[in-house]
């Protein structure tokens, strides 16, 4: 199914089921929020990562990744100076088919993507393996005083687990984007198992803490 969505290019990746707060100060994005508030529910726009360029100004975006995530507007607070503080939740992934720059903010024709889990038996096996690998990864981070993630119970549902792990790992933007674009939860979990095994082994052998990718912060000043 295709539809036209307002686009919000960012230097980070939003995953389905994850919360993304944003501070809206650019005039073009103030208009975007105003237009959304004047439209019926659900009020949605597309968050898509920037391959090349910068977050401020449509003209500064020279290249976008192909797969993004729909953000549904949950909370809007208008500040006295005209800025907005909003809270969004990621819902559906989409593939960007074309761009429209006829308005102050970008819009895109997008195709919503399905969320298949993959082969049932293989997915169950890999889900359990990723749960173990993710707990080991968090334990290593905690032992170095750098863990800020508290996950008392990991979900058993493979799609949800795959996105939770993707959002929680300290990895670079291209790796985050690659995980978002995987065709199903099984392939995403398999990639995460490899990443977790590798990163945990490096941390244990070198005693290093990975530097966070600030571009992947869940909070943006745009």
pLDDT tens sequence across 43-64 = 999 999 998 755 455 555 658 9
Q: How far is CA 5 from the centre of its chain?
A: 17
Which band of pLDDT confidence, cut at 50, 70 and 90, is reported for residue 219? very low
Decide: helix, strand or coil at residue 117. Answer: coil
Reading the block at residue 86, the tokens are 């909003």
The DSSP symbol for 15 reads -
Using alpha carbons, select from 107, 86, 89 the residue that is nearest to residue 98. Answer: 107
Q: How far is CA 175 from the centre of its chain?
A: 11
The 3-state DSSP composition of the chain as helix, strand, coil percent (nearest 5) reads 35, 30, 35
Q: What is the pLDDT, as a whole number, of residue 215?
A: 33
Is the pLDDT reported for residue 108 higher than 50?
Answer: yes
Q: What is the pLDDT, as a whole number, of residue 205?
A: 79
pLDDT tens sequence across 195-204 = 999 999 888 8
Domain 2-112 architecture: Roll (2.30)
CATH topology agreement for domains 2-112 and 120-206: no
Q: What is the pLDDT, as a whole number, of residue 145?
A: 66
Q: What is the mean pLDDT of residues 101-113?
A: 95
Q: Tell me the C-alpha distance between 124 and 161, whole Å.
A: 12
Q: What is the pTM of this model?
A: 0.85
Tell me the Cα Rg of the chain. Answer: 18
Decide: helix, strand or coil at residue 73. Answer: strand
Domain 120-206 architecture: Up-down Bundle (1.20)
Domain residue ranges of the chain, discontinuous segments joined by +: 2-112, 120-206
Distance in angstroms between the alpha carbons of the first and the last residue of the chain = 29
Q: What is the mean pLDDT of residues 148-167?
A: 86
Which band of pLDDT confidence, cut at 50, 70 and 90, is reported for residue 207? low
Preceding omega of 202 cis (within 30 degrees of 0): no
Which band of pLDDT confidence, cut at 50, 70 and 90, is reported for residue 141? confident
Reading the block at residue 63, the tokens are 């290249």
**Helices vs. strands in the chain: H and E counts, helices first:** 5, 7
Q: Which residue has the tokens 């100076």?
A: 81
């Amino acid at each position: 199914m295709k539809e036209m969505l307002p686009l919000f290019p960012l230097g980070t990746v939003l995953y389905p089921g994850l919360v993304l707060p944003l501070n809206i100060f650019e005039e073009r994005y103030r208009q975007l929020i105003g237009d959304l508030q004047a439209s019926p529910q659900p009020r949605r726009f597309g968050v898509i990562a920037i391959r090349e360029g910068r977050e401020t100004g449509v003209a500064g975006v020279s290249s976008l990744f192909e797969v993004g995530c729909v953000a549904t507007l949950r909370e809007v607070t208008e500040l006295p100076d005209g800025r907005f503080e909003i809270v969004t939740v990621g819902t559906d992934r989409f593939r960007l088919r074309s761009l429209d720059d006829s308005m102050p903010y970008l819009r895109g024709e997008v195709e919503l993507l399905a969320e298949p889990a993959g082969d049932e038996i293989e997915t169950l096996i890999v889900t359990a393996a990723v749960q173990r690998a993710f707990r080991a990864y968090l334990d290593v981070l905690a032992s170095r005083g750098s863990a800020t993630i508290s996950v008392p119970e990991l979900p058993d549902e493979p799609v949800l687990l795959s996105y939770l792990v993707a959002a929680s790992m300290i990895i670079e933007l291209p790796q985050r984007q690659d995980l978002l674009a995987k065709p199903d939860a099984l392939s995403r979990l398999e990639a995460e198992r490899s990443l977790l095994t590798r990163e945990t082994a490096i941390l244990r052998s070198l005693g290093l803490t990975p530097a966070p990718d600030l571009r992947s912060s869940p909070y943006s000043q745009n």
